[in-house]
Amino acid sequence: MACTRCAACKYLRRKCPSDCIFSPYFPANNPQRFASVHRIYGASNIGKMLQQLHVHLRAEAADTLHYEAQCRIQDPVYGCVRIITQLHQQIHNAQSQLAKTQAEIVFFTAQAHEELQEAASTFNTLLPQQSDFGQSFYGSSTPPFY
């Protein structure tokens, strides 16, 4: 029974050993995946990077290497760094907007508080004297209105 070579070994035109470091992450049915990482990093560098990692981390590493390689192929000048720059800009804009909105909240809350105090003091001046009113109903007890 013929064993299928992994995409890496097919690309590199070599025999695919049983312990091939690439084969779990670059299956034969997706040749483009290895082609793109090879174009950016080179097979030797990919192999070294994967070998330096624990086996359970290699799949994630292969995925992220593929992602970055794709970004670099699509944008040869900035690669995935363009995305990072855009995200920093988005964060900056969102922070500015949030600060502005929070300032507005403080402002309108303070304004509402001032208006309430004004209304309360206006209301209090319209009330009859506490001593006159209180005396007739409550004597010398606590005023009925705060």
* CA atoms of 66 and 26, how far apart (whole Å): 10
* CA atoms of 52 and 46, how far apart (whole Å): 10
Shortest spacing between CB 8 and other proteins, in angstroms = 16
Regarding 104 and contact with other proteins (CB under 8 A), the answer is yes
Other C-beta atoms closer than 10 Å to the C-beta of 100 total 10
Of 112, 115, 144, the closest CA to residue 131 belongs to 144
* CA atoms of 64 and 33, how far apart (whole Å): 11
Regarding 67 and contact with other proteins (CB under 8 A), the answer is yes
Tokens coding 100: 């502005």
Q: Binding string to other proteins for residues 74 to 93, with x set by CB under 8 A, is what?
A: --xxxxxxxxxx-xx-xx--
C-beta closer to other proteins: residue 28 or 43: 43
Regarding 120 and contact with other proteins (CB under 8 A), the answer is no
Q: Binding string to other proteins for residues 37 to 66, with x set by CB under 8 A, is what?
A: --xxxx-xx---x--xx---x--xx--xx-
* CA atoms of 18 and 6, how far apart (whole Å): 10
E strand or H helix at 132: helix 130-137
Contact with other proteins (CB under 8 A) among 17, 24, 32, 100: 100
Interface with other proteins by CB under 8 A: which residues?
Answer: 39-42, 44-45, 49, 52-53, 57, 60-61, 64-65, 67-68, 72, 76-85, 87-88, 90-91, 94-95, 97-112, 115, 118-119
